[in-house]
A and B are shown apart, each in its own frame.
Chain A
Amino acid sequence: MRNLSAVIAVLLVSLAGLALADNTDPPESVVTEAALELEVCRAIDLQASDIPNDEGGKVKLSWIMESEGIRPDSLGIMRRDPAGSDELITTLTGNFTDYTDDSARNGTTYTYWILSFRGGAAEACSDEVQAVSSAQWFYSGRVGMLIILSLIMAVIVYYIESGKRGKELYIREIAGLAAVDDAVGRATEMGKPVLYIPGIMDMDNIQTIASIVILGRVARKTAEYGSPLLVPTSRSVVMSVAQEVVKEGYLQAGRSDAFNKENIQYLTDDQFGYAAGVDGIMVREKPAAIFLLGCFYAESLILAETGRSVGAIQIAGTAMPSQIPFFVAACDYTLIGEELFAASAYLSREPKLLGSLKGQDAGKLFFVILIVAGVIAASIGDFWSPMKSVAEFLRKLVTVN
């Protein structure tokens, strides 16, 4: 009994809505058909809300369809603006359960409702809901990240500045980088070239950028020692930049006469075509020192094992977690992750760059403290619930949406 009265109530409401909404469809037919037979499903639980974190102009509608009843052929999304004029903004098939109105004006309150069409007539109508769209200046879920990133950037800039002012900064030894001189020196003694591989990604990859900066320092050393430097690249832009950087290195060492542009060549963008070409260079030129610094994928071990087999000293470095193990196994020295980014500062010994390393350390210290505090709070929180919310807060701080 109760169910029946609910159905009738719903029906009445929907009819009222329908009558208000649209006069083009004869309401009589709805009454007769719907009352006697199974009703056409209507959209229930209609929700309308501004889409958060956008430039505005969008309202998201979502609903569910009644499960009992005849499925409608299509759904009409209706919108009424404050002036009172109704508009059918779109017609969807009966399967949709959400829609985004992207023609809303910011700051205007709209009323939305949904008509269920069957056989060309509106047979049922949902409740009405209201929403205002608005534009946001910030992604709300990214404020935590913005704060942390700004803090870390500020600290890095601070240490760069204090480095510029000549403050002495201690940097621990990085084994792979201490070996750069030896490797280049050995190549000179043996009268063999140095091979430098800047990874296989393009110049927009930050690891490639880091590698190119290191290439500049290595070029200066090879120029000083007088051994040829071969740089095969897998990207055209990297080739262009490498040519500039190496030329500059030779210039700084006062050996611009020894610079040979032909030694910096493009092979192919193809990952394994590049690996094949570099392998060929390795076995034919027999370099005494090989640098593998930058962004590497599967070709890492193809290059490192071939380099090993020609007896070269190999210094590798990458931030690709999946490739580090292969470099560790096949190379003499490996710069792990962050050490790659530290290399240019370490090799140049420029105070401002060393300062940025100190800034990075501050960033890591911050995260260490955050993790330790969070873990302690979460662990105590298992027994004493106030601490749980502390852990939740910390977790939320590092959540990015």
Chain B
Amino acid sequence: MRLILPLSITFVTGMIMVLHFFVPHQPIKFLGDNLQEWYMIVASAAIFLGALNLMHVHFRKIKLKLKNWKYSPVTIIGFMLMFVTGLIYGVTAARPFDFMFMNMVAPMGATMFSLLAFFVASAAFRAFRASNWRATLLLTSAFIVMLGQVPIGAMIWDKIPLAKVWLMSIPNTAGQRAVMIGAAMGVVSTSLRMIFGIERSYLGGTD
């Protein structure tokens, strides 16, 4: 019984958003326009839950002296540093919050991102082996495109960049398209199951 209200909210909001796409008339337009902003506000407000959880997890680690608890204060201090300076000094440029973001958070993000340069190499080394003819095709197309990506490819044979463009725009497009159309069917069916409350396990049980 307690699920009826949430499920009807799901149904109504879902239907409004679907209708909003097809119906430019009031009141659908007004409701749809606003709902788009509302649900983002609600989802954003939840960030406080996450922040509390993060603090809780690390304070608990320290209290119970769990594995690696010595690093937990680092997380807590890091969070507090950003949170407090953000509240006090605001987010404008050249203030402590912005300074820490630009010189600590952003470089760390860029560094984690750049780890991929190493990981693509190790993944390619391990995975691209001609173990069967399908794997051989995968390997060959990757190889040709890699060559076509850099000027050296064109120096070896001037048709290689053309082969790259062909691979990217014909077989690659075909593959992507099949994935996209198939996924769209999956999305329609999943959304439908959500909107009509056929799938409701995400609402949890009967606590």
Direct contact, A vs B (beta carbon within 8 Å):
yes
Interface, chain A (partner B; CB < 8 A): 53-55, 135-139, 142, 146, 149, 152-153, 156-157, 160, 202-204, 206, 209-210, 212-213, 216, 233, 235-237, 239-241, 244-245, 247-248, 251-252, 262, 265-273, 275-276, 284, 298-299, 301-302, 304-305, 308, 319, 321, 324, 326, 328-330, 336-338, 340-342, 344, 352-353, 356-357, 359-360, 363-364, 367
Given contacts A54-B24, A236-B49, A302-B112, contact A245 B201 (CB under 8 A): yes
B182 touches A356 (CB 8 A): no
CB distance from B169 to the nearest CB of A (A): 15
Chain B residues, Cβ within 8 Å of A244: 202-205
Interface size on B, residues (CB 8 A): 63
Selected from A135, A213, A235, A268, the residue in CB contact (under 8 A) with B202 is: A213
Interface, chain B (partner A; CB < 8 A): 21-26, 29, 39-40, 43, 46-51, 53-54, 57, 60, 67-68, 105, 108-109, 112-113, 115-116, 119-120, 122-124, 126-128, 138, 176, 179-183, 185-194, 196, 198-199, 201-205, 207
Selected from A142, A251, A252, A337, the residue in CB contact (under 8 A) with B182 is: A337
CA A328 – CA B128 in complex, angstroms? 11
A367 touches B181 (CB 8 A): yes
Instruction: State the main secondary structure of chain A at its contact with B.
Output: helix
B54 touches A139 (CB 8 A): no
CB distance from A262 to the nearest CB of B (A): 6
Given contacts A216-B201, A245-B201, A301-B116, contact A206 B187 (CB under 8 A): yes
B54 touches A270 (CB 8 A): no
Chain A residues, Cβ within 8 Å of B181: 364, 367
CA A328 – CA B139 in complex, angstroms? 12
Chain B residues, Cβ within 8 Å of A137: 23-25
Chain B residues, Cβ within 8 Å of A213: 199, 201-202
Selected from A152, A248, A267, the residue in CB contact (under 8 A) with B185 is: A152
Chain B residues, Cβ within 8 Å of A284: 67-68
B189 touches A359 (CB 8 A): yes
